[in-house]
Every structure is written in C-alpha cells, then in structure tokens.
Structure 1
C-alpha cells in the first residue's frame, strides 16, 4: 500500500502539510486511475498494478494527527503489514524540490508519522518518501507554515520532487516483484 498523509481534502488540499496526498494523486494520474472516497476507511482509495504488484493507494481524509487510525483500518482490512506500506509526507528538514526515500523507524516530529507508529504499536522499519517543503525562519510559525499554501515557485519545485519520488517508487517496486 502507498499512503499520502494529509488533512481533510476540502479545507487543506492546497497546503504544504498535504504534499503526501499530492504525490498519491500524481501517482494515480500516471496510472490513469481515480481515487474514490471510501467512508469505511475515512479516505480516498484506488488500486493500481505495478510490476505485477497489486498496490492500494490511500489518502486519509481526517486530521493529520489521527491519520494512523485510518491507515490501520485499511491495512487491517487487507492484511497489510506496516513494513509493506510506503508513506509519503511533507518534510520541514528538506528544501522544496528535494525528496528522499527512507526506510527506518521514527517520526522525526511529524504528527502523522507519530500517529501511525502509535496506532500500529510496533517499532518496525517502514518506507517513506520525505518530500521537502522547507522550514519557516521562526520555529513558532511551523504550524501556520505547514497549513498554508506554498508559493508558485515552491509548487513548481515540489511537483518536480513528486515526479522524482514516483520514479523512485517504480524502481523500488521493480526490485520487490
């Protein structure tokens, strides 16, 4: 399963904190599929086939700090382990235009990742794409920064990093088939 962390779509779709959902929408578009709202999972779901791997795409449509509950619900339903999930999320420690694939345990202060780790209640490594959004100059501004829209220049850079992340996803999945 590939998950893009987010806050509720209607209010927060264009914000930096929803970059993970941007990645999922771009991935779905690359495979000519649409995500459908699935109330029982509290989010948007699609299935794609990559190198003979049936991959579920998922975007939680609940608040970031409780994304873990929606992810756990769909993962349990389909018997998907945490180490079989790729999480895409925004990252303050990377500049816009940068993305990195990481396989480890930990949340680095990200509330969505913290929620996932707490709900799954396991100290287990999992894959994640850290998609850079940069950091505000003042630490006190982090909340308003992540919940605001990026500039046009940042959007262009973020879209480049999302396309890079999609290419890396295909490479990663080609090695697991």
Structure 2
C-alpha cells in the first residue's frame, strides 16, 4: 500500500491538515478535494501512484509476431496463439505488463502427437497453464507453468518480428 501522506510531504505540497491528523482515514481514500486547492499536479501524482498499486495503467504487449527457438507467438489485442514443435497454446485475454514489464496470464497448452489416433477420446486434451514472463523492448522471456501441479513446461526467449525456428513432431 502506498502511504499517500509520505508522497504529499515528499513532493512539498500541502494536504488538508485534518486529513493528515485523522489516522482513521485510509490513505487510499484521498480525493481531489482533500488536496490543496491550487495543486493540480499533486492530484495527478497521487492518482498515478494509486493506479500502480491496483494494477491499472498497465501496458499491452506489442501485437504481432514474436519468434524464437521452438516457439512462435502471435499477439493480438484479445490474447495470443502460440506454436511449438510438438504443441500449441492459447491465451484468451489481453496480455498486459506492469511497470517493470512483467506479466502473468492463464491459458491452455495442447500437446501434439506424431501420429494422430483415430479415436477422438485418445486425442490430447488442452492443459491449463500460466504464461508468465517479462518484456523489455523487443525481447520477451516466457515461462510456461502447469496449473495442475506447478511444474515448468518450458522457458523461452522471443523477439518481436523474428521468424520462429520450429521443428515439428514427426
């Protein structure tokens, strides 16, 4: 939690003295009327700080193709599709990073077989996974973790605009 009172004092702005003296008032309840009337800048600063703690103001991962060794990822505004040598994946929600470029979203991963069985009951089922990682510029690190047992299903480095280097299962 952000201590808004510290942010106010650190910026040199003045807040409503009654608000500062009232220890029962949660610092996240600070509203524009509680700020000094002529300090519109402080309102903006407090708003940005509060948004960061609530996960708002995050940045969307760049849409388009991301590629790496044994992985290709196509990001759109609603999620992404992933292609691996022996699997495919899906993310059905926007991928947004925090201020440090980190992200974590739920999705699915479906393993492929070389020869597909004739019986549909024997086809691989989608597995619930978490796709997490970090984006810095045009480089993404990606970790895939099974939601069933927490095991790692792979770590990858992708580059925006790079053609994927995938060797498919035979």
TM-score (norm 2): 0.29
Of the two structures, which has the highest relative contact order with CA contacts closer than 8 Å and spacing of 6 or more?
Answer: 1
Q: Which has the larger share of strand?
A: 2
TM-score (norm 1): 0.29
Q: Which has the larger share of helix?
A: 1
